[in-house]
Structure 1
Amino acid sequence: MRKSILITTLTVLLHLPLMTNGATISDGVVVAPSAVTVFEDRARVHRSISVKMSIGSKEVILKGLPHRLDPSSVRARLLDLPGLVLGVRMEREVHQEDFQKEVKDLNHQLVLVSDQLQGVESRIEEIERLKLLTQRLAKILADAVSKVGKGGILGHTSAAQIVEAQQWIADRQLEHSLQRDQLEIQMSEFQVKRDDIQGDLIPLMQGSTRTTWTAIVLIQAQEEGTGTVELAHDVPGARWVPVHEARLDEETSKVNWISRGQVIQQSGEDWNDVKLTLSTARSSLGLAPPSLIPVRIDAVERRAEPAADVSLVSRESDSSRGRPMATAASPAKKPASSLVGAEVVSGSGPIRFDVRATASIPSDGSVHLVTISEQQMDAQLDYQSIPLLSPHVFRRAKLTNGSGAPLLAGQVSCFREDSYVGDGRVERVAAGQEFSRHFGSEGRILVRKVEIEDHSGSAGSFNRKLELKRGFKITVDSVFPTAVPFELVDRIPLSTLNEIDVELGSDTTQEPVLNEDGIVRWVVSLEPGETHQFILQWIATARKDQAHLLERLR
């Protein structure tokens, strides 16, 4: 096996002219990256060098390429001068070096990350202790409430004070859950960083050698002049993910939405002042779906037996054998849209964000943020409660993506009046598409849900059917000084069985909207100082011999 990798054809090489008539071999030079495109699991690095050419062939040698590059991905081209790139040869170089300084720096980084990780773990333990304490307080309060009027510890405490205490406990429980979620995200990031540092440290401690690649580009010019040789290759250890920041201004009813790219790379070389591009192309998915091989059932007659034997045979289709697969014409790309931080180029496939300013991303595995876009969105604000899942009421903003590019799916950090309220996730939002974003809980609206009916019996005196009735009362109190828009969401069972019918009961109040998924919605205006009551009743009916199915709905 040859020590070098040839990315050219033998036919071309056999017909190359000898390098005479002024053809020279340039000395090896180290060329820094000038442009980088980052994908989900790799990066494509571009570098270029200016070369003076005379008519004929010449080798251009680029040294010091990172050891982690994929040699099969190397491509070269000649720009600004008529000519050809005849081939690229890759060679490994081993350098004897002293890595004591690098080992010391990595060990220092490892200690810092380990300390940060230990601090997060301690904080999680503290949160768990606070959660346990809050649960005990909730139980004490619940036991005390059950003994009100019977000489319990609450004495003459008013209902409003009890509700306030319950709300405080619920707020603390939500706060602890959000803090734990955030700490778990931080712990995961620190663990990845620690593993990356250990991965870099191990080879340095095992030996005192450093490996690099050298690219030898063979070019042929058709006329004299100065041309540019551009070399591109892929490197692993690089990735990017979209992250967002949403800031709600209650006074102006606007949301300032910032989209950024979180870039991490450990390719083996720093990217200093490069033209950075972030791409959503996912090479891991391949270019096309796998091909299905037809499965045919053939009757094969055997001479030794009078009957035919039917067997299952897997064969290639005759129509597909030896014929190329038809490909659809490439759709025309949409023109680039202008964003604050980047130019976006999108078509029917992947999206590319060409970052306007040059970027410097060191090969240290740390997170670097690159701004992609920033926009002001008009927000339609209201409050939403789903008491079946949470006793809290949440601030909601209905938004429209008014930029010329989609918002990519990713984590979004939410702020309300410059106060951090938590992290959530946004799914992909197309340009011009409407979507909703929540901005934390609201303590000035109290929601309570209690069951008021749970009855089963015959649907009528002479009816052979049984029915199950369940009813709930939902009470909503607002202490806002003005009226506020409010949406209350609940649900009723959804039957896919012919044996069971489920419908809203006649006692249901205020005419909610019921969709095909059984989701019930009331949209109202909460007036100040008023108590709003909502009744939700649903009725399920079934034959008497199907009573066990009704019991499953309790």
Structure 2
Amino acid sequence: MFRPLLTTSLIALTAPAFADTFTAEARVDTVTIYPGVATIMRQITLDLPAGRHEIIVPDLPENLNAQGLRLAAPDGVQVGAVNLAYDRLPVTPDQTSPEIVAAKEEVERLEDILRQRDVSIAEIRLRVKAAEEQVAFLQSLSQASAGETLTASAIADIQALAQMVGTETLRVRQEAFAAEEEAKAAERAREDDVEVLDDARRALAALMAPESDGSVLTFTLDAAEAGEVTVDISTLEGYANWSPVYDVRLTTGDAPQLDIDRSVVVSQQTGQDWLDVKLVLSTARPGEQIAPGGVWAPLRRIISEEELERDRREVFMMDEAPMMSRSVGAVTAAPMEMAEQEFKATANFRGASVTYTYPGTVDIRNGVEDLRLPLDQLNLEAEVWAEAVPSRDSIAYRMAEFTNTTPELLLPGQALLFADGTMIGFSQLPLLAAGAETEMGFGPLDGIVLTRATPNKSEGERGVFSSANQLTEQAIMSVENLTGQDWDVLLRDAIPYSEQDDLEVTYEASPRVTRTNPEGQRGILEWDLTVPAGEKQEVTLDYTLTWPNGYVLQ
């Protein structure tokens, strides 16, 4: 069992002597990402003797939020005073930590390699110098011997001497050349050794004196018994986010089906890499409103018609003479209107949160953009039809309706659409609660051709002695199926509508209209048609607007 501890800048009034000071590196173990923020669980593990100790945890992200800092230790271990420093390091870090010891040993090993490399290069240079001295000796020997041989007039001896000197000189020069090339190669290798040694020295320096722009956590720990102790450090950090993305694949045919491949896109700029961490994604919104907004009752009052008229005259006079004082009634009206606008509540969705635990572990680097992680696949039944709007389009469009039959909420996100294996384009999947229905477009059907013509349109008076005006329009719409399969087609058109009793709207259609004013959309007409492959179907629509004489239609 872990006992959580709230940290609120605890400062001990009396500081007992510590048994030891330990420096521990905090490893990120679990990350829970919400929209805009993340809860990061780090762990440190130490082998401690019994007693009170000071623990130093360097290299935490800069400007860590102290309000979201929590520590938890196992039973038998008590966390004491906690301090979080931003601008400076605590006392000298633990020189005996395994990381520092290993870094020192690595620097010493590389320094020894560099010394051995320098000795090897010096030996090669000695061989080059020895070869040069041999060449000089041979040259001096040939000159002296040649003078003595010429005095003795022995041509054969001169030839033998010249051949011996030439052969030996060539051999020695070849040895010198080979040694020079070997020395150059060793010097190039030495440059790599120097670079590796510099990197090791910098790594050691970083361990000995961590960067000052990070945060350092220091706390006391009381261990009842000696042994290995693991402490959980939980922090709340910003600049992290996630969002769902979908690949929506529609398969048409006798049994249409919708396959949804769900993935998540994760990004973080917390200042520290998350390597080999457990990832949890939550739809909760800890950074948003946590309680309902207030309501305020509007103040209403009545005023007599005489007083209202007097106020209007005074306002008119103030417009004519800006320096004239305003009445009390004119001054008090404006603040009431401003108050009603300022405190108007806005409705936001606050559904139950959903948590996704990603299987295995992941690496999410600091500053990474749009790391995509697969989540799962959903298989849903779908209803497919062609939707036609001849007044706006020349072809119909493939539509699909499906129900979220899963027990969980589907979050809104960008969706890449496919229809029968062909990529259609991008859309946005809306938020879908369990059991909710929605429909989506899945691209054009070029083989379903639409036309709309208006052969008859007239406007004028009815009869010579008529007291009313009218507008009559006829529209002929056609749906031609040039595809290789039968299609159910939803045809949609519109007629004018009126909110005045004196403006009357009537219509006739063949075939008969299936639905009028769908979902409260006034003036919208819909037909459910079945158009077999290779056939064409027409719809005729006549509507008439009638209004009294003396009025103008707008």
TM-score of the aligned structures, taking structure 1 as reference length:
0.61
Of 65, 70, 76 in structure 2, the residue corresponding to residue 76 of structure 1 is 70
Matched to 1:513, the amino acid is: R
Cα–Cα, structure 1 residues 388 and 267, in superposed 2: closer, same or farther, change >3 Å?
farther
Whether the 8 Å contact between 1:482 and 1:528 is mirrored in structure 2 is yes
Distance between the aligned counterparts of 1:293 and 1:220, measured in 2?
Answer: 54
Aligned to 1:406: 409
Distance between the aligned counterparts of 1:412 and 1:507, measured in 2?
Answer: 38
Cα–Cα, structure 1 residues 8 and 276, in superposed 2: closer, same or farther, change >3 Å?
closer
Deviation, 1:84, is: 5.2
Aligned to 1:236: 238
Give yes or no for the alignment of 1:353 onto 2:367: no
Give yes or no for the alignment of 1:259 onto 2:266: no
Give yes or no for the alignment of 1:19 onto 2:16: yes
Q: Deviations over 1:359-386 (max 9, x none)?
A: 2111233221122331111222221122
Report 1:388-399 matches (<5 A).
388-399=391-402
Distance between the aligned counterparts of 2:223 and 2:462, measured in 1?
Answer: 93
Of 28, 32, 45 in structure 2, the residue corresponding to residue 33 of structure 1 is 28
Whether the 8 Å contact between 2:11 and 2:82 is mirrored in structure 1 is no
Aligned to 2:547: 542
Of 81, 86, 94 in structure 2, the residue corresponding to residue 92 of structure 1 is 86
Matched to 2:544, the amino acid is: I
Distance between the aligned counterparts of 1:9 and 1:451, measured in 2?
Answer: 77
Aligned to 1:50: 45
Cα–Cα, structure 1 residues 57 and 407, in superposed 2: closer, same or farther, change >3 Å?
same
Report 1:50-449 matches (<5 A).
50-51=45-46, 57-67=52-62, 69-81=63-75, 85-92=79-86, 211-219=213-221, 227-251=229-253, 253-291=256-294, 348-449=351-452
Give yes or no for the alignment of 1:478 onto 2:471: no
Whether the 8 Å contact between 1:90 and 1:215 is mirrored in structure 2 is yes
Deviation, 1:412, is: 0.5
Q: Structure 2: any 5+ residue segments left out of the alignment? A: 1-5, 90-210, 302-327, 336-349
Secondary structure of residue in 1 paired with 2:418: strand
**Number of residue pairs aligned between Structure 1 and Structure 2:** 386
Q: Structure 1: any 5+ residue segments left out of the alignment? A: 1-6, 96-208, 299-308, 315-346, 550-554
Cα–Cα, structure 1 residues 537 and 354, in superposed 2: closer, same or farther, change >3 Å?
farther
Distance between the aligned counterparts of 1:466 and 1:219, measured in 2?
Answer: 93
Matched to 2:214, the amino acid is: T
Whether the 8 Å contact between 1:81 and 1:225 is mirrored in structure 2 is no
Cα–Cα, structure 1 residues 221 and 530, in superposed 2: closer, same or farther, change >3 Å?
same
Deviation, 1:547, is: 1.6
Aligned to 1:129: none
Distance between the aligned counterparts of 1:412 and 1:400, measured in 2?
Answer: 16
Aligned to 1:532: 537
Whether the 8 Å contact between 1:19 and 1:58 is mirrored in structure 2 is no
Aligned to 1:509: 511
Q: Deviations over 1:421-468 (max 9, x none)?
A: 111112111112222222211111111112233333346887644332
Matched to 1:245, the amino acid is: D
Cα–Cα, structure 1 residues 296 and 423, in superposed 2: closer, same or farther, change >3 Å?
closer
Give yes or no for the alignment of 1:487 onto 2:466: no
Of 507, 524, 528 in structure 2, the residue corresponding to residue 523 of structure 1 is 528
Give yes or no for the alignment of 1:453 onto 2:456: yes
Cα–Cα, structure 1 residues 9 and 417, in superposed 2: closer, same or farther, change >3 Å?
closer
Cα–Cα, structure 1 residues 383 and 294, in superposed 2: closer, same or farther, change >3 Å?
closer
Deviation, 1:486, is: 1.3
Distance between the aligned counterparts of 1:521 and 1:471, measured in 2?
Answer: 16
Cα–Cα, structure 1 residues 276 and 9, in superposed 2: closer, same or farther, change >3 Å?
closer
Whether the 8 Å contact between 2:509 and 2:539 is mirrored in structure 1 is no
Cα–Cα, structure 1 residues 543 and 352, in superposed 2: closer, same or farther, change >3 Å?
farther
Secondary structure of residue in 2 paired with 1:373: strand
Cα–Cα, structure 1 residues 541 and 371, in superposed 2: closer, same or farther, change >3 Å?
farther
Distance between the aligned counterparts of 2:355 and 2:486, measured in 1?
Answer: 45
Higher gyration radius (CA): 2
Secondary structure of residue in 2 paired with 1:356: coil
Whether the 8 Å contact between 2:280 and 2:355 is mirrored in structure 1 is yes
Cα–Cα, structure 1 residues 237 and 348, in superposed 2: closer, same or farther, change >3 Å?
closer
Aligned to 2:315: none
Aligned to 1:319: none
From the two aligned structures, give the one with the greater helix fraction. Answer: 2
Tell me the C-alpha RMSD between the 2 structures: 3.7
Distance between the aligned counterparts of 1:259 and 1:13, measured in 2?
Answer: 49
TM-score of the aligned structures, taking structure 2 as reference length:
0.61
Deviation, 1:290, is: 4.8
Cα–Cα, structure 1 residues 513 and 352, in superposed 2: closer, same or farther, change >3 Å?
same
Deviation, 1:501, is: 3.9
Distance between the aligned counterparts of 1:297 and 1:221, measured in 2?
Answer: 69
Deviation, 1:533, is: 0.4
Distance between the aligned counterparts of 1:353 and 1:501, measured in 2?
Answer: 57
Distance between the aligned counterparts of 2:299 and 2:398, measured in 1?
Answer: 59
Secondary structure of residue in 1 paired with 2:69: strand
Distance between the aligned counterparts of 1:410 and 1:474, measured in 2?
Answer: 37
Distance between the aligned counterparts of 2:300 and 2:493, measured in 1?
Answer: 53
Distance between the aligned counterparts of 2:446 and 2:552, measured in 1?
Answer: 43
Report 1:460-475 matches (<5 A).
464-475=467-478
Secondary structure of residue in 2 paired with 1:50: strand
Secondary structure of residue in 2 paired with 1:525: strand
Deviation, 1:54, is: 7.2
Q: Deviations over 1:325-359 (max 9, x none)?
A: xxxxxxxxxxxxxxxxxxxxxx9433222222322
Q: Deviations over 1:171-215 (max 9, x none)?
A: xxxxxxxxxxxxxxxxxxxxxxxxxxxxxxxxxxxxxx7611111
Whether the 8 Å contact between 1:8 and 1:86 is mirrored in structure 2 is no
Cα–Cα, structure 1 residues 544 and 512, in superposed 2: closer, same or farther, change >3 Å?
farther
Distance between the aligned counterparts of 1:59 and 1:66, measured in 2?
Answer: 21
Q: Deviations over 1:132-170 (max 9, x none)?
A: xxxxxxxxxxxxxxxxxxxxxxxxxxxxxxxxxxxxxxx
Secondary structure of residue in 2 paired with 1:287: coil
Q: Deviations over 1:278-297 (max 9, x none)?
A: 22233443222454678989
Matched to 2:27, the amino acid is: A
Cα–Cα, structure 1 residues 283 and 501, in superposed 2: closer, same or farther, change >3 Å?
farther
Distance between the aligned counterparts of 1:414 and 1:213, measured in 2?
Answer: 46
